[in-house]
Chains A and B, each alone.
Chain A
């Protein structure tokens, strides 16, 4: 538990619509009164499909409450961009972590866990565990 502060969640997708919709879905499924900071970083600044390091760093800064930021990504350049930003060391808030998780299920698990007061480790574990949920 981390008192008033909550882990921030950043959703990075090639598509602005997808990132925004997953954020809304996760918030909606997490229940009423959820105050977890969630930011979508989707697409490129000109509205195209792709990954933008600017949007990612802005999103991470906007949800950082000082207790860590969990970044969930869709695929390809989204994964590589976040990894290379983390390797750079100074563009993302301290305590920012790339979480290895399925994008939709992981986002829901992360938001629910963060809203219950879980710390960054707990949020990461819950999001990654979402891989274990088989659909058939």
Chain B
């Protein structure tokens, strides 16, 4: 079972991975976006880290809601409300339970990803974070719910964005010229899913 401490460690590790890869994410974003994805997410996850150090939410749902709220208020770009919605909706689905099973987390994450799709109006193949998140949550779609499989699916989905033409966000204005670049949102999503799998493996 996964408790609030597990979710805290997942988000803190996410913040570490975003720190580590911030320059890379911004570089990806400079090719097809406005070159701020790494620094925006770094600011957001630094705020999440600070909030989690100052407060100790008692349930997995509360940890995710707190983090989501911080992302929405601090990121300053579209990734703030998108990741904020992912975490908040997932947290809402988990409700008040003090412990959740991996299967319950998988189910909640699917609802979170669906909320992201609804907010951004994007779908798979649009060259967005969904191209990483949707395969990841699909890999959790059974009772064995392997976070390692989700990590692999997200990484694969991210690589698969390279040839795609962007259909959402600023990159979509580039049309065909957006092809040939990895989507920064898919790349950062893969980091967050990787942090989940790493946290799960470190717990065992």
A44 proximal to B (CB < 8 A): yes
B76 proximal to A (CB < 8 A): yes
A84 contacts B72, CB within 8 Å?
Answer: yes
| CB of B85 to closest CB in A, whole Å | 5
Best-surrounded residue of A48, A53, A76 (most CB of chain B within 10 A): A53
B60 proximal to A (CB < 8 A): no
B119 contacts A77, CB within 8 Å?
Answer: no
A77 contacts B81, CB within 8 Å?
Answer: yes
B185 proximal to A (CB < 8 A): no
A76 contacts B84, CB within 8 Å?
Answer: no
Residue of B nearest to A48 (CB): B76
Chain B count of residues within 8 A CB distance of the other chain: 19
Best-surrounded residue of B72, B73, B76, B88 (most CB of chain A within 10 A): B76
B80 proximal to A (CB < 8 A): yes
B81 contacts A52, CB within 8 Å?
Answer: no
Residue of B nearest to A80 (CB): B81
The secondary-structure label for the interface of chain A is helix
Write out the residue numbers on chain A whose beta carbons fall within 8 Å of the beta carbon of B79.
77
B82 proximal to A (CB < 8 A): yes
CA distance A54 to B47 in the complex (A): 14
Write out the residue numbers on chain A whose beta carbons fall within 8 Å of the beta carbon of B102.
none
Residue of B nearest to A81 (CB): B81
A50 proximal to B (CB < 8 A): yes
Write out the residue numbers on chain B whose beta carbons fall within 8 Å of the beta carbon of A80.
78, 80-82, 119-120
Write out the residue numbers on chain B whose beta carbons fall within 8 Å of the beta carbon of A85.
72
- Digitize B50-83: 1 where CB-to-A-CB distance is under 8 Å, 0 elsewhere: 0000000000000000000100110011111110
| CB of A132 to closest CB in B, whole Å | 22
| CB of A49 to closest CB in B, whole Å | 8
B170 proximal to A (CB < 8 A): yes
B103 proximal to A (CB < 8 A): no
Chain A to chain B: the 8 pairs with minimum beta-carbon distance, closest first: A50-B76, A84-B81, A77-B78, A80-B81, A53-B73, A44-B76, A81-B81, A77-B77
**B-to-A contact residues, CB < 8 Å:** 36, 40, 69, 72-73, 76-82, 84-85, 88, 119-120, 169-170
**A-to-B contact residues, CB < 8 Å:** 44, 48, 50-54, 76-77, 80-81, 83-85, 87-88
Q: List 11 A-B contacts (CB under 8 A).
A: A50-B40, A50-B76, A51-B77, A53-B80, A77-B79, A77-B80, A80-B119, A81-B81, A84-B81, A87-B119, A88-B88
